[in-house]
Amino acid sequence: AIILVHWLLTVWGCMNYMLPLSYAWGNFSVLAVGIWAIVQRDSLDAITMFLTGLLLTVLTDIIHISIFYPSHDLLSDAKRFSIGMAIFSLLLKPVSCYLVYRMYRERGGE
């Protein structure tokens, strides 16, 4: 569910090309590692990399949104929706990090 929600929000966040390609590459790469963590249920490395990637994308998302946020007179409804979904994804990431950390602990992480 975490991967599906963040994938959908990232797709919606990228649909107006307002954010640079590095936003999409960073988020989709972390989601690919998340798929790896789901497939490899016994791998501690996969869940660690997914958690680290999520934490790093929190920082990079803040930077992307703050640098590339358009001025008020350039915001159309579609751009407002797109940036809103990117911000919503950013707000959900700490919750996702907490849930992934719990999965890390269940797999034997310290």
- Each residue of 38-91: pLDDT tens digit? 898 888 888 889 999 999 999 999 998 888 887 777 778 888 888 888 899 899
Tell if the pTM clears 0.75, that is, is over it: yes
Q: Give Cβ neighbours of residue 110 (< 8 Å, ≥ 6 apart).
A: none
pLDDT (average), residues 16-28? 86
Q: What is the C-alpha to C-alpha distance for residues 27 and 86, in angstroms, rounded to an integer?
A: 11
Handedness of CA 75, 77, 78, 80 (dihedral sign): positive
Q: At what angle do helices 21-39 and 2-14 cross, to 10 degrees?
A: 160
CB atoms within 10 A of CB 28: 14
